[in-house]
Amino acid sequence: MNIREQSEMLEERYLCEYACFSKNTKGRQKFEEKCQIRTDFSRDRDRIVHSKAFRRLKHKTQVFISPDNDHYRTRLTHTLEVSQIAATIAKALRLNADLTEAISLGHDLGHTPFGHMGEHILNELSPHGFKHYEQSLRVVDVLEKGGGGLNLTYEVRDGILNHAGTMTASTFEGKIIKYADRFAYLNHDIDDAIRAEIIKNDDLPREYIKVLGDRHSKRINTLITDIINTTLKNKEVSMSAEIEGAMMGLRAFMFDTVYKKIGEQDKKVELVIEKMYKYYLENPEKMPGEFVNLLKNYDADTVVCDYIASMTDGYILKRFNALFVPQTW
């Protein structure tokens, strides 16, 4: 019995009946011999962490574009906070922490520069539409490793695709990510908005703060504790009506007061992304070779979206300036 097989045996002894066991994965799109040391899900986690797309997250906007303060979240720090929250929940419920971590680390790999503003604009420009969760799956299936993809397991891919909106992942581990994502961004966006002096702590609606807590750590603890206890009670990943209602009320407040204000930058972002999109659509050969090669199998709109979505905030501005801003002598 090798180390991986020992780990799989330990999963069967420790994890709960609702967990997704590594040995029961539905497998990869392309066959691979199993690792002698790592389970399939821990192997997927490592592939994501070592990917180029993961490294680029450190230079992509979470909410605040080009912040001049080192303590604002980026897409990478958001991802790490989601992973930490999801792992805490998974371990408490005795679910598969490796699978949970792999999904959480990969869930936002397809995000555009400039956060959801960039996603919205690409969705308007492309005739196929653009959703970051679909692009995240495309990153791990196609774009990484020069077009070869990471060849992840079905369960990780399913969790990445179904972490947002009304979609539902097929595993308990995948379902956790949707909640962990919301817990993370709601609370760290409050923290960043206060740091940016858009709101004050006293502006937060009292009826929701009374339920969730008056500090970042208290709110996170309340949300995590509630989903653990409610899931144990209902035998399904869920929250109590009171806590979820307060969370959604606070989320609505953030949309009305913070996200709407940040959205005032949409016109500037739209100018940059629209100009870049149209330029590369008309001149696809100007893209890097790895994207030009994709044109053999995919249409130009899809590949141009691939290229723009892969860009960091700084890189797209650098390319925009090089293409459209007159250079000094």
pLDDT in tens, 190-221: 999 999 899 999 999 999 999 999 999 999 99
φ/ψ (deg, to 5) at 320 = -60, -45
Q: Which amino acid is at 286?
A: K
For 117-167, the pLDDT digits (tens) are 999 999 999 999 999 999 999 999 999 999 999 999 999 999 999 999 889
Find out whether 182 and 251 touch, Cβ atoms under 8 Å: yes
Sign of torsion, CA 14 17 20 22? positive
Find out whether 44 and 103 touch, Cβ atoms under 8 Å: no
Find out whether 76 and 149 touch, Cβ atoms under 8 Å: no
Please count the other Cβ atoms lying within 10 Å of the Cβ belonging to residue 73.
Answer: 22
* Cα–Cα distance list, 252 to 61, 77, 239, 248, 261 (Å): 21, 23, 18, 6, 14
Please count the other Cβ atoms lying within 10 Å of the Cβ belonging to residue 44.
Answer: 29
For 51-76, the pLDDT digits (tens) are 999 999 999 988 877 666 788 899 99
Helix residue spans in 34-114 (DSSP H):
40-49, 52-56, 75-92, 97-106
Residue 68 confidence (pLDDT): 67
Q: Can you say how many angstroms the Cα of residue 257 is from the centroid of all Cα atoms in its chain?
A: 23
CA proximity to 245, closest of 234, 256, 253: 253
Q: In this structure, which topology does domain 3-24+36-324 adopt according to CATH?
A: Hypothetical protein af1432 (1.10.3210)
Find out whether 132 and 108 touch, Cβ atoms under 8 Å: yes
pLDDT > 70: what percent of the chain?
98
Domain boundaries, the chain: 3-24+36-324
Residue 273 confidence (pLDDT): 96
Tokens encoding 11:
């999963």
- How far apart are alpha carbons 136 and 94 in whole angstroms? 27
- How far apart are alpha carbons 8 and 92 in whole angstroms? 19
Q: Which amino acid is at 119?
A: E
- How far apart are alpha carbons 243 and 226 in whole angstroms? 7
Rounded average pLDDT over 227-238? 98
